[in-house]
Amino acid sequence: TQLLKQSPQFLSIQEGENLTVYCNSSSVFSSLQWYRQEPGEGPVLLVTVVTGGEVKKLKRLTFQFGDARKDSSLHITAAQPGDTGLYLCAGAPAGTALIFGKGTTLSVSS
């Protein structure tokens, strides 16, 4: 059973398009994190969302934490080839280690 479900699994778009990826769970998390992983490298933390309903912006990336703290979304405006990578959401169920969703592989072509 996958605790964090990400969708879509794959996304291929043209430069300049907008996109949203989702991270859903039936469990409540005290916080959720988003990482990006590029080929040949380890994941790198983008943001942590803590408060239900919270919205955080990182340049063209907007992250939202659901009101019930069971889900999160990542919206990218005007995607660029440099946004290409694997986007992972992660959360730590109480008392346990950080677990990851399977990720969304994003490909942005120019």
Partner 1 sequence: KAGVTQTPRYLIKTRGQQVTLSCSPISGHRSVSWYQQTPGQGLQFLFEYFSETQRNKGNFPGRFSGRQFSNSRSEMNVSTLELGDSALYLCASSALENTGELFFGEGSRLTVL
Is 55 within 8 Å of 63 (Cβ atoms)? Answer: yes
What three-state secondary structure class fits 78? Answer: coil
Residue written as token pair 């889900």: 71
Q: Binding residue for partner 1 (CB under 8 A) from 11, 21, 23, 33?
A: 33
Minimum CB distance to partner 1, residue 43 (Å): 5
Find the binding residues for partner 1 in span 45-64 (CB under 8 A).
Answer: 45, 48
Q: Determine, following the binding rule CB under 8 A, whether residue 78 of this chain makes contact with partner 1.
A: no
Rounded Cα–Cα distance for residues 77 and 70 (Å)? 24
Q: Summarize as ranges the residues that interact with partner 1 (CB under 8 A).
A: 31, 33, 40-45, 48, 88, 90-92, 95-103
